């Protein structure tokens, strides 16, 4: 909007990325609260007139942190419940984690089961028959209102810090996340939070499951492929595209065009990032824990 | 050697999953150790340099990217090359059991996977670092 665009020119294209954790009703309420906040803010604060601008489109990924290395098949159940919460909360797209991801990168079988989980939700259980099926539930409505209220409290705190960027620079978000994850871990260790198979219902002996092994030969193969692409491209044009990218990065114009131009010439992402790092340097956070 | 145990908690490579590393860093600090957390995207060279500069008793390496069999041996080799092989190396993250065995053979003091408690890691370090 600072560049003179009307909010309705781009707001319908915006989308968000959410995580689906295990607290079923709270998760559903979280998405409902987010959609409500978005619609209200876009209409009232930013003056959007196109109803498509008011729709919060979002992707959801199930929670990696909820996956356990112990009795890993149980992760299928966790992921299914998390995915269902996302669907009931109105997500537009979904990534279900594979059950073996606390052990390694997923096998083909584990990935297929993750996909089948979504397909069962989509086709077998009727979860998609209506939008917002939990609207009107006293509990979900209460949680939605509460989450919305707490979100606005956060917005106020962030505003007081000067906005999102200063808040990042002051480690606000990082500290909040570190605090929450430490609290979660402490609750697990104190058994105030039960994780099936981890701090209750453990097995003395666990059969190891099959996990994916990445063939080390893939690395030299991939290096070879990148080198082959580099050898084939027009190196003068590549140099020029990178110089142009840097030139634009030094100002405040839109970088998308030079990035698209560079991509068409097979400039690698690494080369583009190096060029941008030359101009901007690298952000190093002061770690808080 | 007197004073608290000094631990460098490090995130090598490109993986950005630092939730576990930060939890461990805080648990070790709460247990009275001096903890230096490197932040993300460290090279093995940077980690070894930090360990030496900080005169660390132990380095805790957190990897969830699958690149542990490349990164950890490199860190062990660099510690040896710099005469710092007495620094205890502990690894955490998504490390399959076979790989964990292999890393222990190569000189890693122990490997802690998902589900390990902060208490067992604290106890391990207190036992393994000579007082």
Distance from the B92 Cα atom to the nearest Cα atom in chain A, whole angstroms: 12
- Measure Cα distances from A179 to A20, A186, A217, A287, B26 in Å: 19, 10, 41, 13, 10
- The pTM of this model reads 0.92
Q: Each residue of B74-110: pLDDT tens digit? A: 999 999 999 999 999 999 999 999 999 999 999 999 9
What is the CATH class of B6-126? alpha beta
Q: A54: which residues sit within 8 A by CB, 6+ positions away?
A: A38, A39, A42, A43, A48
CATH superfamily, domain A7-189, is Methylmalonyl-CoA mutase (3.20.20.240)
Q: Each residue of A265-282: pLDDT tens digit? A: 999 999 999 999 999 998
Domain boundaries, chain A: 7-189, 218-280
Q: Each residue of A62-98: pLDDT tens digit? A: 999 999 999 999 999 999 999 999 999 999 999 999 9
Task: Please tell me whether the interface predicted TM-score (ipTM) of this complex is above 0.85.
Answer: yes
Q: Does B121 contact chain A (CB < 8 Å)?
A: no
Q: Does B23 contact chain A (CB < 8 Å)?
A: yes
Domain boundaries, chain B: 6-126
Q: Does A285 contact chain B (CB < 8 Å)?
A: yes
Report chain A residues whose CB lies below 8 A from the CB of B38: 287
pLDDT, mean over chain A: 96
Q: Each residue of A29-74: pLDDT tens digit? A: 999 999 999 999 999 999 999 999 999 999 999 999 999 999 999 9
- Asked if B19's CB is within 8 angstroms of A181's CB, the reply is yes
């Amino acid at each position: 909007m600072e560049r003179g665009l009307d909010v309705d020119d781009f707001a319908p294209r915006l989308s968000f990325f959410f995580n689906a954790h295990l607290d079923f009703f709270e998760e559903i309420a979280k998405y409902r609260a987010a959609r409500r906040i978005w619609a209200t803010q876009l209409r009232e604060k930013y003056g959007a007139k196109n109803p498509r601008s008011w729709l919060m489109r979002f992707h959801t990924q199930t929670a990696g942190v909820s996956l356990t290395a112990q009795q890993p098949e149980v992760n299928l159940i966790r992921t299914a419940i998390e995915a269902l919460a996302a669907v009931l909360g109105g997500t537009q797209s979904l990534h279900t984690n594979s059950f073996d991801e606390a052990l390694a990168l997923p096998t083909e079988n584990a990935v297929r089961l993750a996909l089948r989980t979504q397909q069962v939700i989509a086709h077998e259980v009727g979860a998609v028959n209506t939008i917002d099926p939990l609207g009107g539930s006293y509990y979900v409505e209460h949680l939605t209102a509460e989450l919305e209220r707490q979100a606005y409290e956060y917005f106020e705190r962030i505003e007081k810090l000067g906005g999102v960027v200063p808040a990042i620079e002051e480690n606000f978000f990082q500290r909040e996340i570190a605090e929450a994850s430490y609290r979660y871990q402490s609750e697990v260790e104190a058994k105030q939070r039960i994780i099936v198979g981890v701090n209750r219902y453990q097995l003395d002996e666990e059969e190891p499951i099959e996990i994916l092994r990445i063939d080390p030969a893939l690395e030299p193969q991939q290096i070879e492929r990148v080198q082959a692409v580099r050898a084939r491209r027009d190196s003068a044009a590549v140099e020029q595209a990178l110089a142009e990218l840097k030139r634009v990065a030094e100002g405040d114009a839109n970088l998308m065009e030079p990035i698209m131009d560079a991509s068409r010439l097979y400039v690698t992402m690494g080369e583009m990032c190096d060029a941008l790092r030359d101009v901007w340097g690298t952000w190093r956070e002061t770690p808080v824990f | 050697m007197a004073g608290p145990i000094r631990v460098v908690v490090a995130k090598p490579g490109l993986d950005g999953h630092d939730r576990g590393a930060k939890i461990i860093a805080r648990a070790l600090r709460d247990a009275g150790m001096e903890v230096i957390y490197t932040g993300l995207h460290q090279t093995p060279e940077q980690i070894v340099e930090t360990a030496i500069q900080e005169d660390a008793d132990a380095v805790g390496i957190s990897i969830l990217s699958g690149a542990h069999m490349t990164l950890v041996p490199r860190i062990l080799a660099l510690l040896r090359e710099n005469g710092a092989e007495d620094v205890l190396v502990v690894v955490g993250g998504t490390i399959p059991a076979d790989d964990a065995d292999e890393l222990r053979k190569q000189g890693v003091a122990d490997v802690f996977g998902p589900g390990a408690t902060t208490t067992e890691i604290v106890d391990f370090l207190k036992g393994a670092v000579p007082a």
